[in-house]
Amino acid sequence: MLTYDISKKGKMSAYQYLYHLIKNDILDGKLLSDEKLPSKRSFANHLGISVVTVMNAYEHLLSEGYIYTIPRKGYFVVPIRTQRKTDFKDIRPQPEKEVRPDFDFSGNRLNGGKFPFSVWSRLMRKVLLDYENQLLEPLPYNGAEILREAICKYLYHNSGMNVSPQQIIIGAGTEYLYTLIIQLVGKDKIFALENPGYNKISKIYGMNNVKTEFVQVDKKGLNAGDLRNSKADVVHISPSHHYPTGVVMPVDRRNEILNWADEKNGYIIEDDYDSEFRGAQRTNTLFSTDKNERVIYLNTFSKTIAPSMRISYLILPSHLLERYRERLNFLSCTVPSFEQYTLAYFINEGYFERHITRMKKYYNQCKNKVKEIIENSVVRDKIEIVENMSGLHFIMKINTEKSDDEVVSLLNKEGIGVKFLSQYIHTAGGSYQHRMIINYAGFNIKHLENALEKLNNII
């Protein structure tokens, strides 16, 4: 009879251990197909364990299909067809190394040290006390009501936007929300994207297999004539601040694009990702100007609070809200309740507004300081600073015979990161050479002069 030493079971229960031993013998082929197992009673006697223990082990093997039973005959080993091992290249996962440059002219980082972290953590503790177990309750698909209300109040007072909390959909980052928008307006639509523009945006549209067309950005933002000549039904723009050119779309261009959407029955996706940090006062959003429900508004707290804060939101016009409720409300909200409540407190108690005000001032100081250093540095005669009333970056034209690619690769060799406007161009058209993007928001100013010297040696 099968013999096992159950005393070696360690921390396992006797039945678990027995189950394991038998299973392994089946898998190793020590117990053959259709071989009969000992009867429960005699096996229990043989091993010095209880009948119940053997029964539990058999039941478990039975439920997993390792053995089968024939009434009044007993238990038998199932003929196991094991998976054949086919040939394939054995690629063990390699750890990735993220190479971070010593200094980055165009890095996407923010200065985390300026965030009122002690306030945030106090509010987190308050949320823990106030909500307790409720934190574990599932949230509505569109996010916590308290947060949607807080956002509405904030927008009303700071952007003159008058929207209802019902119109807001909270989601884990703009990238995720792009995919919801595509679902909402339809995958069969053609999407116009800004050229130059964020590579990530076109990647996400590409990932979702929707057709896109690039439309040129001129000095007033996306060219409305070109948009009219395109096949697009939907346009994705950042009118309050275009990246990377920094263009702020003037009101006449905005109206042209709104008129286009009306005539076409199309949609405008208004990506307002860092409008809070515009130098001067904020412009009216397209969403507020729109009278015909053509605009979908999109914003995020990743830029205003922290990149690790994955909270973004959509504001939908009424008929799209109805459509969202019909088609997409089966999707659970992707942001944890805890973060939503904390952010709601942060906005409602006025900390968010104060933080924005403080950061605008701070970033303005950074900009002036960075400009001053550049304008007094060794490269001063080979550059020109082009500034719009833009968010957290400006453009620095450089005078060089070298191509942008060459400059990038030579600077990278020196441990310096940089991006040029030309790297954001998707299709030919427009002259964008020699325009460096200076993202001063996350600068370590101490290393700037050194980096400028290296740049000077290269150009």
Subset of residues 105 to 124 that bind a copy of itself, contact rule: CB under 8 A: 109, 112-113, 115, 117, 121, 124
Work out which of 173, 415, 429, 430 binds a copy of itself, going by CB under 8 A: 173
Per rule CB under 8 A, count of chain residues that contact a copy of itself: 105
The answer to whether 288 contacts a copy of itself (rule: CB under 8 A) is no
CB 181 within 8 A of CB 233: no
**Smaller CB separation from a copy of itself, 80 or 445:** 80
The answer to whether 81 contacts a copy of itself (rule: CB under 8 A) is yes
Work out which of 101, 307, 429, 430 binds a copy of itself, going by CB under 8 A: 307
Could you tell me which stretch among 203-211, 372-380, 408-416, 445-453 binds a copy of itself (CB under 8 A)? 203-211
CB 383 within 8 A of CB 397: yes
The answer to whether 335 contacts a copy of itself (rule: CB under 8 A) is yes
Stretch 89-108 residues interacting with a copy of itself (CB under 8 A): 89-96, 98
Stretch 384-403 residues interacting with a copy of itself (CB under 8 A): 388-389
All residues at 6 or more sequence positions from 268 whose CB lies less than 8 Å from its CB, including other chains: 234, 235, 237, 257, 258, 261, 286, 290, 294, 295, 296
Nearest distance from residue 78's CB to a copy of itself, in Å?
Answer: 5
CA 96, CA 100: separation in Å to the nearest integer?
Answer: 12
**Smaller CB separation from a copy of itself, 201 or 407:** 201
What single letter denotes the amino acid at residue 291? K
The answer to whether 249 contacts a copy of itself (rule: CB under 8 A) is yes
CA 178, CA 182: separation in Å to the nearest integer?
Answer: 6
Work out which of 69, 338, 429, 456 binds a copy of itself, going by CB under 8 A: 338
Could you tell me which stretch among 46-54, 284-292, 394-402, 422-430 binds a copy of itself (CB under 8 A)? 284-292
Stretch 205-224 residues interacting with a copy of itself (CB under 8 A): 207, 209, 220
All residues at 6 or more sequence positions from 339 whose CB lies less than 8 Å from its CB, including other chains: 309, 310, 311
Q: Which of 274, 280, 282 is nearest to 312 (CA)?
A: 274
**Smaller CB separation from a copy of itself, 137 or 381:** 137
- Between CA 215 and CA 419, with CA 218 as vertex, the angle to 5 degrees is 85
Nearest distance from residue 294's CB to a copy of itself, in Å?
Answer: 9
The answer to whether 137 contacts a copy of itself (rule: CB under 8 A) is yes
CA 440, CA 429: separation in Å to the nearest integer?
Answer: 28
Q: Which of 195, 192, 254, 200 is nearest to 227 (CA)?
A: 192
CA 152 to chain centre: 23
The answer to whether 289 contacts a copy of itself (rule: CB under 8 A) is yes
Could you tell me which stretch among 3-11, 324-332, 349-357, 360-368 binds a copy of itself (CB under 8 A)? 324-332
Nearest distance from residue 168's CB to a copy of itself, in Å?
Answer: 10
Write out the E strands in 160-233. 168-171, 190-195, 211-218, 221-222
